[in-house]
């Protein structure tokens, strides 16, 4: 992707983020995104087929960083020197959700919430698969993964509903205690 395309894509993301802070995903029109980003309709559709695809790409941007092997210090947190254990991975994920609180709340409040949770759970499956000790072997693997992913997703929804007041480290620690994960 060339510099001009990156700049356009960034403008679309920024516009979408701003609109998500103001209104629910379902109430945002592509035209509002175009107006806010100051781009044309054909330009938008050359990057994204639908508003749902834009949401998926935004989720990808949020989550891909967490699974990167080369982490760097960020404004609200620094996991660049962590041991990349499951607790650090979950805590890092929670920080990104908290940093994108306005967007996440806007996305979760409506039909888009189901779509966001589907993308989120796909990333959680990938995360848990990277930590074999997190998945019990005395039950079917798919069942264990479903339980881990579902319970963490519900814990995150609860946390968001509680205005994310609990520090990410504490939520991650409580979750790992509940599932009996030995570090």
Query: pLDDT digit string (tens) for 116-161?
Result: 888 889 989 988 998 888 888 899 999 999 999 999 999 999 999 8
Reading the block at residue 112, the tokens are 């888009």
Which residues constitute the domain of residue 75? Answer: 51-179
The CATH number assigned to the domain holding 14 equals 1.10.10
| Whether residues 152 and 170 fall in one domain | yes
Distant-in-sequence, close-in-space partners of 157: CB < 8 Å, separation ≥ 6: 108, 117
Nearest to 92 by CA among 130, 111, 65: 65
Averaged pLDDT of the chain = 85
- Give the per-residue pLDDT at 77: 63
| Whether residues 19 and 92 fall in one domain | no
What does the alpha-carbon distance between residue 55 and residue 98 come to, in Å, rounded to a whole number? 17
| Whether residues 35 and 103 fall in one domain | no
pTM over 0.85, yes/no: no
Mean of pLDDT values over 106-112: 70
Query: pLDDT digit string (tens) for 87-100?
Result: 988 998 898 888 87
| Whether residues 111 and 24 fall in one domain | no
| Whether residues 58 and 116 fall in one domain | yes
| Whether residues 55 and 100 fall in one domain | yes
| Whether residues 9 and 25 fall in one domain | yes
Domain total for the chain?
2
């Amino acid at each position: 992707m060339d510099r001009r395309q990156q700049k356009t894509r960034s403008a679309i993301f920024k516009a979408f983020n701003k609109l998500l802070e103001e209104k629910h995903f379902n109430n945002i029109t592509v035209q509002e995104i175009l107006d806010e980003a100051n781009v044309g309709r054909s330009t938008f559709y050359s990057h994204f087929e639908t508003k749902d695809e834009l949401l998926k790409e935004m989720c990808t941007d949020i989550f891909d960083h967490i699974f990167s092997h080369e982490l760097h210090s960020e404004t609200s947190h620094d996991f660049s020197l962590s041991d990349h254990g499951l607790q650090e991975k979950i805590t890092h994920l929670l920080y990104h959700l908290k940093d994108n609180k306005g967007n996440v709340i806007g996305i979760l409040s409506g039909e888009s919430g189901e779509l966001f949770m589907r993308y989120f759970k796909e990333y959680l499956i990938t995360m848990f698969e990277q930590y074999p000790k997190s998945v019990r072997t005395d039950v079917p693997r798919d069942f264990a993964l479903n339980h881990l992913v579902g319970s963490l997703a519900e814990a995150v929804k609860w946390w968001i509903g509680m205005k994310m007041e609990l520090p990410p480290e504490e939520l991650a620690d409580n979750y790992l205690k509940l599932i009996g994960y030995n570090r």
